[in-house]
Structure 1
């Protein structure tokens, strides 16, 4: 059902089951999957692809040009998966040529009111961005990560899976998977044990990750310590994930 006050581009492809509210504008090549609902006054600009069973609440803007002075009008896009909730006044900007051209959001995420996802960002699945959390360009966020209200991430930061970022935190370095970070100049403050317990991680894995946090994240362990954890990681996928993330960091990790 499309409200008669909505403006829909002839280039747009909407599944017949899509619900479009009053005064919505769908501009350009926007593709929207079955069961998705777009509430009043939202603006969607193509190229943009939105999957199934999403709910875009009122006054959301998706697919606007990036806030990047290097942008010269090159074709770029936004891709959004399934079953996401994108709350009021959130903004999601499309990618740039220098960042791969796509801002990509997975499935089952909650983007709360006034959050901002800049150009070339990547969100995994089951991510929560609380109210007014903001991601600068090229930020990646792993599955099940949570950013508290008004938390901000610098360009090119990576936030690992199951990480927890406290409200009003400022991230300038990578946050490893399973780690909690907090503060105006964010520091790692512990392992996200409660989150891991809720997601049924074993006590053995949590203990391993806790030791790795103390020895590698906080103390920058030596070669002997790394060798010990490399051996342990052969039997634990979560620990292997943490070690690989730390080794791949270009910005350095939040300690």
Structure 2
């Protein structure tokens, strides 16, 4: 009988200077992949190097979490950027994190868009193509993490990039499988036990309950617990323990 495996990822390296956000070291004890900021929405070079070193010591895979150039808005505001500029911005971010990861004795092994960029390229074909083109230009072997059925995955598939479907442990879902906007109440979930139960359904049944009570089919090769959410470490630990109890093995999707 084959063993069910899933990756557990978190957004890390999102502090800036004296501002600390989340507990990166504690999360790195739980997750198998780390989506590390690249300086455009969060993160400073010294802090990012520390996170890369900490991930490398633990054998946690490092992913480049690319974003709009929006430090003030934490990358959660839409930017009407040209395709040419967006492609260059993404190439720049991957390259910066790759250098830091290399210095830490590791490497960037996948790419995941962040925040507003992640949500925009679910349906915006122009920006989706620009991001996929950037990843392909840097390394056609880099997998991309995102939502199944998105314009981003269609653009990535067209270029031959590996796509890895992601589900969100601590975010509410719309009936169409997209995420509820953070501007809406209840968009971010904080109850660790409820989050763990949702992930158990995502991984075991391939479903999640939407905000209207309907059941949504979901693909979950990797599950994200946001490192900046309240009680993130507690939630991630609860997810890990529940999946272990379900007989699921946590394993990074990259080697």
Report if TM-score (shorter chain) is over 0.5: no
Structure 1 or 2: larger strand share?
1
TM-score interval, normalised by the smaller of the two chains: under 0.3
- Normalised to the residue count of structure 1, the TM-score between the two structures is 0.24
Q: Which structure is richer in relative contact order (CA contacts within 8 A, separation 6 or more)?
A: 2
- Normalised to the residue count of structure 2, the TM-score between the two structures is 0.24
